[in-house]
Amino acid sequence: MNFTIVKAVKEGIRALYGEDINIEEIQVQNTRKDIDGDFTIVVFPFTKYSKKKPEDTAKDLGIFLRNTLEEIGSYNIIKGFLNLSMSSEYWISLLNKLAMLKSLDINLERPKTFMVEYSSPNTNKPLHLGHIRNNLLGNSISKLLKANGHKVIQVNLINDRGIHICKSMLAYQKWGNEETPATKGIKGDKFVGNFYVKFENEYKSQIKNLVEQGFDEEDAKNTAPIIKEAQVMLQDWENGDERIRELWEKMNSWVYNGFGETYNNLGISFDKYYYESKTYKIGKDLILKGIEKGIFFRKPDGSVWVDLKDEGLDEKLLLRADGTTVYITQDIATAIQRVEEFSPDSIIYVVGNEQRYHFQVLSLILKKMGYKWYDKVMHLSYGMVELPEGKMKSREGKVVDADDLIADMLTTAENMAKENGKLEDLNESEKLHIINRIALGALKYFILKVDPKRTMLFNPTESIDFNGNTGPFIQYTNARINSVLRNASKLNIKFNGKASDETRLLKKEVEILRLLQRYDEIIIEAASILDPGMIANYCYDLSREFNQYYQEYSILKEKDNKILQFRLLLILQVKRILEHGMGILGIEMPERM
C-alpha cells in the first residue's frame, strides 16, 4: 500500500501544483500508535510547490487522495502531517488476500545465493553458551534469507587442527590412561575438553615456576616445556606422523559425536562441512605462490607476511617461521574453494565481534591476490553472551556448557509449568514433548530477540516467564488460538474461510490488521540488516495485541455470523504469521500448553 500512496501523492502534486517531483521526496510512514490513522505523509517538503502553509497543503492533498484512492476512508491533519485512515473494506480485503496465500515467504523473480558459515567449533572443547548464540543466529539468519526467497547454503567450518587441538591431545597422552568417553560415561566433546583444561592448568603451573626462577613472563610462556611439546606435536601432525594422526582422528571422532548430539537438541543442521585439516595445505600453497608473485614477503626468520599498511592496517602473519599455518591461511583457501564450488553472491561469516579485524584482513588479502569477488566476504559480527556471574573463560573450564544449559532450561520449564498448572490434563509423553518445545523456545527467543551486535546478559529464569517478551508467551498465545479453533469445531461452528465486506470492524481489530499488513515489510527489513530480533519483537507485538483483544471481546459467543466469521479468519491469520515468524527463529509452536 505504501507504494500505491506514494504514486498517488506524486500524481496529486502534479495535478494540484503542476510540479513533477521525485518519489524520493515523498515520505510515507506508519502512523504513530497514539494518533488516529494508518499511514502518515510528511507534507513539509511540498510547501515549496504549493506556496501554502503545511496545514493547507495537507488539506489539498488529503482531498485529492480521498477522491483518488477508494481504499482511504478518512484523513486528519496535524501540523505538517497528513494521516490517512483506510476503509473497513480495505482491511477486510487485505485479510481475505492474506488467507488465500499458500505461503508467507517472499516470492522473488531474481533470488540470490547466500552461503552462511556458522558454528565453526574447535575440536578441543564442547560447545558453550557463546556457541549457542552463534548457532542460533546462523540458523535463524539462514531461515530469514530463505523466507525472503533466496537460496541459502548453510556451512560449518570445523577447526580440527592447530596448536589448541594438540594441547588436548598431549594432555590425553600424559593423563588419559587409555580411557574413552564410553568408559568414563562422559559425552565425547566434554571428555576431550577436560584434557584441554588439564593442559592449561599444567601450562600455568610451569609458567609460574619459570617466573619464580627469574624468567620474565613472556619468555616463560614461550619456553615452558609443555608448550614446546605441543609445538613439536603440531609439526609432527603436519608431517604426517602416523601415531599422532591416529590419536587425532580418534579424539576428533569423540568430539564430532558430542557436537552431533548438541546440534540435534538445538534443531541445527548444515548443508556442508568444511575441515581446516583439508584446506590448510591449499592455503599454504596459495601463500607460497603469492610470495613468487610479490604479493607476500618473508621475514628473516622465515615467517611469511602481507603488508596492508597502504590499506590503513599493518602487517599480517600468514605462515609461522616453522612453516605452520594460521587461521587466515585456511580461510583464504576455503573462501576460494566455496566461490569455485557454489558461486554465492555473498559469504556471510557469523563470528563474534572480536574477529572484525580478521575478516577485514581476509577481504583485503583476497583483493591483493586478484580475486574480484573479494567484497563478497561479509562478517556478521555479534556480541558476547554474559551471565549474571560475569564472563566465561573456556581455558579455565569456567563456561556454561551448552548441554547443561539446555538441561537446566528443561528443568526450569517443567517447574514453571507445574507452578502455573498449565499441563495438568496431559499424559507424561505429551508433557515432555511440550516442555521440550517451551524450554528451547525460551532459550532461542531470549537470545535472538536481542540485536546481534549487542553484548547480552542471559537470564534463564527470566527467559522462560509465561508473561512479557518471551518465547513461552508467544507460544502460549498460539496455543490459545488453537484452543479457540478446537472449541469452534466442538460447537459445530461452520467456518467458511472468508470475511464479508459488510463486517463492522472494531478499533482493536484494525490494530491487529495493521500488524498483519506489516509482516512482509518486517521480513524484508530484517533480512536487509540480518537481524532476526526484528522478527522476534514483531511476534511479541502481535501476540500482545491479540491477547488484549481476546480479553476484551468474545469470539465464539458472537451472535452476528458475519462478525464471527471475520474473527475466526482474523485469529487464524494471526496464528499463521506467528508460526511462520517463530519458525524463522527455529522455534516450534506447541499445539496446546
Among 270, 272, 282, residue whose Cα is nearest residue 334 = 282
The whole-number pLDDT of residue 43 equals 94
**pLDDT band with cut points at 50, 70 and 90 for residue 395:** very low
Segment 124-141 shows an average pLDDT of 94
State the average pLDDT over residues 517-545: 97
The pLDDT value given to residue 397: 44
Mean of pLDDT values over 398-418 = 83
Rounded alpha-carbon distances, angstroms, from residue 267 to 211, 214, 261? 48, 53, 10
Q: For 248-286, how does the pLDDT look when each residue is reduced to its tens digit (9 = 90+)?
A: 999 999 999 999 999 999 999 999 999 999 998 999 999
Of 3.30.1360.70, 3.40.50.300, 1.10.580.10, 3.40.630.30, the CATH number of 2-86 is: 3.30.1360.70
What's the pLDDT at 384?
Answer: 87
Whole-number Å distance between alpha carbons of 194 and 172: 9
Banded pLDDT at 220 (limits 50, 70, 90): very high
Q: How confident is the model at residue 422 (pLDDT cuts 50, 70, 90)?
A: low
| pLDDT at site 326 | 87
- Comparing CA positions, the residue from 492, 398, 477, 11 lying closest to residue 193 is 398
Domain covering 402-584 in this structure, CATH number: 1.10.730.10
Is the confidence at residue 447, as pLDDT, over 50? yes
Mean pLDDT of 330-346: 96
Mean pLDDT of 420-440: 84
Residue 454 has pLDDT above 50, yes or no: yes
Q: Which residue has the cell 499511514?
A: 39
pLDDT of residue 437: 94
Nearest to 156 by CA among 285, 281, 255, 268: 268
Q: What is the pLDDT of residues 479-515, one digit of tens each?
A: 999 999 999 999 999 999 999 988 999 999 999 999 9
Report the C-alpha gap between 138 and 37 in whole angstroms.
38
Amino acid at residue number 133: R
Residue-range domain boundaries for the chain: 2-86, 161-270, 402-584
pLDDT band at 394 (very low <50, low <70, confident <90, very high): very low
In 3D space, the residue among 490, 511, 488, 480 whose CA is nearest the CA of residue 565 turns out to be: 488
Percent of the chain past pLDDT 90, that is, above it, reads 82
Residue 425 has pLDDT above 80, yes or no: no
- Nearest of 220, 212, 197, 147 to residue 401 by alpha carbon: 197
pLDDT-above-70 percentage for the chain: 98
Are 375 and 184 a contacting pair, CB within 8 Å?
no
- Read off the pTM: 0.90
